[in-house]
Amino acid sequence: MNMIQLNNLERSYKTPAGQTWVLRRINLEIREGEFITIMGPSGAGKSSLLNVLALLDDVWEGEYWFREEAVHAMKRKQRSELAKRNIGMVFQLLLADEPTGNLHSSQAKEIMELFQELNQQGTTIIQVTHSDTNAAYGSRTIQLRDGWMVSDTANPEFQPYEAVKQ
């Protein structure tokens, strides 16, 4: 079953210069237990996408299904209840925006090893990073450019839980 499904999700900001689009027709399916990396240049929409996924943002268009629940049909209160139950910074569903941004590489490695361990215990992880080293810990990498999802690539080196368990 999909944990998360986005159908034609779009996000724009109203600025004095007019409307700017930061997420364009995003279609994304995330299964339970995946370890996903979101990459792309500055301004590509990575943090915007993570905020939508984390149920922090509600000013978007399109469909967002979280398990069987239609997030797009929810009021703010229902959405924050869903987030409380399911989205964690450490212990549940884990979403991380450049978690190792300002760290020494040995500390970054420790964090990535912690993520790896949590993922092997069944936690679904979505991280934003500019680092190929960090991305290499994940099962799948999504690339954004100017709000468009331009690629979605599986990591052939990834060790899934089933393989690690033995």
Ligand X SMILES: Nc1ncnc2c1ncn2[C@@H]1O[C@H](COP(=O)(O)OP(=O)(O)OP(=O)(O)O)[C@@H](O)[C@H]1O
Residues that bind ligand X (CB under 6 A): 13, 15, 22, 40, 42-48
Which residue's CB atom is positioned nearest to Mg ion?
Answer: 47
CB of 151 to ligand X, least distance (A): 15
Residues 46-75 that bind Mg ion (CB under 5 A): 46-47
- Cβ neighbours, 10 Å, residue 95: 22
Contacted entry of ligand X, Mg ion, none for residue 22, CB cut-off 5 to 8 Å set by kind? ligand X
CB of 136 to Mg ion, least distance (A): 20
CB of 13 to ligand X, least distance (A): 3
Q: Which is nearer to ligand X, 153 or 159 (CB)?
A: 153
Q: Which is nearer to ligand X, 1 or 17 (CB)?
A: 17
DSSP state letters, the chain:
-EEEEEEEEEEEEEETTEEEEEEEEEEEEEETT-EEEEE-STTSSHHHHHHHHTT----EEEEEEETTEEGGG--HHHHHHHHHHHEESSSSEEEEESTTTTS-HHHHHHHHHHHHHHHHTT--EEEE-S-HHHHTTSSEEEEEETTEEEEEEE-TT---HHHHH-
Interaction between residue 131 and Mg ion (CB under 5 A): no
Contacted entry of ligand X, Mg ion, none for residue 134, CB cut-off 5 to 8 Å set by kind? none
CB of 22 to ligand X, least distance (A): 4
Contacted entry of ligand X, Mg ion, none for residue 48, CB cut-off 5 to 8 Å set by kind? ligand X
Query: CB of 83 within 8 A of CB of 69?
Result: no
